[in-house]
Amino acid sequence: MGMITTKDGTEIFYKDWGSGQPLVFHHGWPLSADDWDNQMLFFLDKGYRVIAHDRRGHGRSTQTATGNEMDTYAADVAALTAALDLKDAVHIGHSTGGGEVAHYVARAEAGRVAKAVLIGAVPPVMVKSDKNPGGLPIEVFDGFRSALVANRAQFYRDVPSGPFYGYNRPGATVSQGVIDNWWRQGMMGGAKAHYDCIKAFSETDFTEDLKKIDVPVLVMHGDDDQIVPIADSALLAVKLLKHGTLKVYEGLPHGMCTTHPDVINADLLAFVEG
């Protein structure tokens, strides 16, 4: 575990375990590198070097008041990969982290990236507009902001207890530990950074990023994702990628890396090794 300091003085926390080809994990909102513990232990055991950072304003990184948008997030990743001198890395992003991966990989230095994975990811763009009629209305994200301001602690109980892991579906097996861990990670971060990040993940248009990426990309998405609906994300994103492969998971939720790690890890391994 360590810290790097970016040009604006922000400290970015990261975990760096093992050796071999590097796999870099990018977490979703409003979580931290800890959301990847299962995947990191799995791939560490397979002989890979596994790295995960806390996005600025999240987890153990500086609770920034500024820079909480995709350009700076991608620049922070570039700073991390340069500091660790990562080459031929596979960048794996979930949800907001998938947007971060797309934004970074489209701009990465030659030789830094071998492959990328987008899991339940926000690209091309989430918010509804004339250009994106299938998106979610801005009122949905305004509701997130209002809930965060009103009672962030309760909001961070409600999200994992319901749609994030599909625990609101009939017959779902609910894990209180998973809910508590989501809350723990969320409350570690900064309220201002989390508030700003809602705009970053919902309104950033990643269309041009996806078109620029020239490495193989695996797009993984549950068809019961209630947070990032598949029809306006993965199904559109894969069409914009030069070397994209889509894998849809019947009935799986947004947080499928946690609810079904055996399924997801096996498919990730096959893609990384393929």
| Per-residue model confidence as pLDDT tens digits over 146-169 | 999 999 999 999 999 999 999 999
How many other CB atoms are there within 10 angstroms of residue 230's CB atom?
19
Which CATH number do you get for residue 105? 3.40.50.1820
Of 148, 222, 150, nearest in space to 186 by CA: 148
Position 181 confidence tier, pLDDT thresholds 50, 70, 90 = very high
Q: From 85, 87, 20, 27, select the one nearest 61 (Cα to Cα).
A: 27
**94-126 pLDDT, tens per residue?**
999 999 999 999 999 999 999 999 999 999 999
Please state the rounded mean pLDDT for residues 219-241: 98
* Structure confidence at residue 227 as a pLDDT band (50, 70, 90): very high
Model confidence band, residue 17 (pLDDT cutoffs 50, 70, 90):
very high
For residue 34, give both structure tokens: 């800890």
For residue 264, the model assigns a pLDDT of 98
Instruction: Name the token pair of 22.
Output: 């590097």
DSSP state of 232: G
How confident is the model over 242-265, as pLDDT tens digits?
999 999 999 999 999 999 999 999
pLDDT tens digits for range 120-149: 999 999 999 999 999 999 999 999 999 999
Query: Mean pLDDT of all residues in the chain?
Result: 98
Contact 225, 122 (CB under 8 A): no
* Residue range 62-69: mean pLDDT, rounded: 98
**Cβ atoms within 10 Å, residue 47:** 10
Phi and psi at 127, nearest 5°, equal -75, 145
- Greater pLDDT, 100 or 1: 100
Distance CA 41, CA 90 (A): 16
Count of domains in the chain? 1
Give the predicted TM-score (pTM) of the model.
0.97
Query: Mean per-residue pLDDT for 160-186?
Result: 97
Using the 8-state DSSP alphabet, how is residue 166 labeled?
T
Rounded Cα distance between 105 and 181, Å, is 29
Determine the pLDDT at residue 110.
96
**Positions marked catalytic:** 95, 225, 254
pLDDT value, residue 89? 98
pLDDT of residue 1: 72
- The range of the structural domain enclosing residue 186 comes to 2-273
